[in-house]
Structure 1
Amino acid sequence: MKYIILLFSLWFILSCENKGKPVGDYTSYGKELTADNAMTQEEMMRMYQSMHVGDTIPVKFKSEIKEVCQMKGCWVKLALDPKTKTMVKFGENDDFLIPRDVAGREAIVEGRAFIKEVSVEEQKHYAEDAEKTSEEIAAITEPNTAYHFIANGILLK
C-alpha cells in the first residue's frame, strides 16, 4: 500500500510540471501554436476599442509580457500600448501554467478576446497574485471595465 501511495504521489508531482515544447524560436505552452499570422499589439488595441462588454472575438496576437502571476503562473498581462494592458488567463480553469520569470519577453497568444466588468474582489485577487503592495491593493475601491483574453495556448520567445 505504501508503494501505491508513493507511486501515485510521484505521478502527481511529475504531472504538475509544466514544461513547454520548443517551436522554432519559441516555447509553447497549452495548445501548440505557430507564430504566423499573429496581429500586432497595436492592431489588437484597435480591435478592443471597437468592442463592447459581452463581445467575444477569436484572435491571435503578439505582444510583450508586462506582468505575470507570481503565485502559479496562471495569467499574464500583455501590453496593448504604453499605458494599456490585457489580462490573459490560460484556459477557463487555469488549464496550463507558464514560468513566473517571463516578464519582458515576447509572447504570442491565441484564444478569445473580450471586455469584462471586473469586481473589486477580483481586482484585489489579481493584485495580490502580482505581489502588489498593501497600499496598491487598498487603493482598489471600484469595479472597472477591462480588456480580457482566454488563451488556448501561448508561445514565449
Structure 2
Amino acid sequence: MKKIVYAASIMMALVSCKKEKPVSYAEFGDKITAESAITKEALLEKYKAMKETDTLEVKVATKIVDVCQKKGCWMNLDLGNNQTAFVKFKDYAFFVPLNAAESEVVVNGKAFIELTSIEDLKEYAKDAGKSQAAVDSIVAPETNYSFMADGVLIKK
C-alpha cells in the first residue's frame, strides 16, 4: 500500500511540474493583448458576409503567410481554405520583421473588402520577391480581403 501511495505522490509531483509557459510575443504598433481574438475561420466567414463598403473592427489569431521582403510594410494572413487577408499597417507607423512568415500572430484592426489595382498588385508581387514572369502575369485588378492593422503580436 505504501508503494502505491508513494507512486501516486510522484505522479502528482510530475504533473504539477508540467505547467505551461506563458506565451511571449514581440509587439508592433499599438499595445494589444491576445485575449478575445477570433479564429481565422471565423474571420473568413465574416469576410464572406461583407460588402465592399463594410468595415469590421476585429482581432484575429492566425499565421503569417508572407511578408514584404523590402521592409516588412505588409503581410498576408492565413484565413484557411486557401484564402488570405492582405494586411497593411495603420498610418505606415510600424513594420514587421522580414522573417516573420509562418509565425503565429494576433492582429487587431479593421477588416474590409478592397479592389486592388493592377499596378498595386504588381508592386506587391515585386515586394514579395516574385519572378518577373509572375509580375507580368498580373493583368486584372482583384477584389481582396484586406486589413488595416493598428497592433500586431508575433509569437516568439
TM-score by length of 1: 0.83
CA distance in 2, matches of 1:73, 1:149: 15
Residue in structure 2 matched with residue 79 of structure 1 by the alignment: 78
Percentage identity across aligned positions?
Answer: 39
Residue in structure 2 matched with residue 29 of structure 1 by the alignment: 28
Residue in structure 1 matched with residue 8 of structure 2 by the alignment: none
* 1:55 maps onto 2:90 in alignment: no
Moved more, 75-84 or 40-49: 75-84
* 1:120 maps onto 2:98 in alignment: no
| 1:5-154 matched pairs, under 5 angstroms | 24-92=23-91, 94-154=92-152
Whichever of the two has the greater Rg, that structure is 2
CA distance in 2, matches of 1:60, 1:41: 10
Figure out how many residues of one structure are paired with residues of the other and give that number: 134
Residue in structure 2 matched with residue 15 of structure 1 by the alignment: none
CA distance in 1, matches of 2:115, 2:81: 22
Gaps of 5+ in 2: 1-21
Output the aligned Cα RMSD: 1.2
Q: CA deviation at 1:24?
A: 4.9
Q: CA deviation at 1:54?
A: 1.4
Paired letter, 2:53: G
Q: CA deviation at 1:95?
A: 1.0
- Off by >4 Å, runs of 4+ in structure 1: none
Gaps of 5+ in 1: 1-22
Q: CA deviation at 1:81?
A: 1.1
* SS of 1:80 mapped into structure 2: strand
